[in-house]
Amino acid sequence: MPDTVAFETSLGEIEFELYWDHAPKTCKNFAELSKRGYYNGVVFHRIIAVCEISPIHRKYWILTLISQDFMIQGGDPTGTGRGGTSIYGQKFEDEIHPELRFTGAGILAMANSGPNTNGPVDAIRYTFLLLIVLVSGSQFFITLAPTPYLDKKHTIFGRVSSGMRVVQRLGAVAVDAQDRPKEDVKIHKSRLVIS
């Protein structure tokens, strides 16, 4: 079991410490996809610098744009936010651990559209709202700030252990009205780091 996964990105290297004791199935998925090169050449397809989340239905969430810094999302090989699969198939169950919280920047978690739907998120923007719908298993996000409203809603499975300046630079790239970077920011290569 690797302790760390590293991404060589367009803006520099980011290393992630994985929380194997708290989310073993999710860590295995992320590490195995990284080892297979699944993330190689994949873009960070969504960077949301401002928002707040509130549920409206068990499958849907509304993000209202009111607070500074939210997240960087990647892991979809189609680059659309609608693709991707886990090593277990499309979706797999959450591993929500009560000790893990969204307390700051650099937290690594699974994207989802509700309980036990780890994976891609399809989003439609309506002026100041973002509607999130059905997902599956390879997409992840990295927080840019504390996001306590996500506690107990997403599987936290690691943290940035090196490369926070790269994460900050990612969070500052210019995006379009759908929160997609105006210029592609890619994961050139993912690799396992065994210590």
Binding-site residues for cyclosporin A: 45-75, 80-81, 109-114, 119-141, 147, 153
DSSP conformational letter for 175: B
**Helix, strand, coil share (%) of the chain residues, nearest 5:** 10, 40, 50
Largest CA distance in the chain: 47
Distance CA(63)–CA(73), nearest Å, equals 15
Which residues are catalytically annotated?
A: 46, 70, 73, 112, 141, 150, 154
Residues composing the chain = 195
Q: Record the tokens describing residue 21, joined without a space.
A: 């004791």
Partners of residue 142 on adjacent β-strands: 72, 108
Write out the binding residues: 45-75, 80-81, 109-114, 119-141, 147, 153
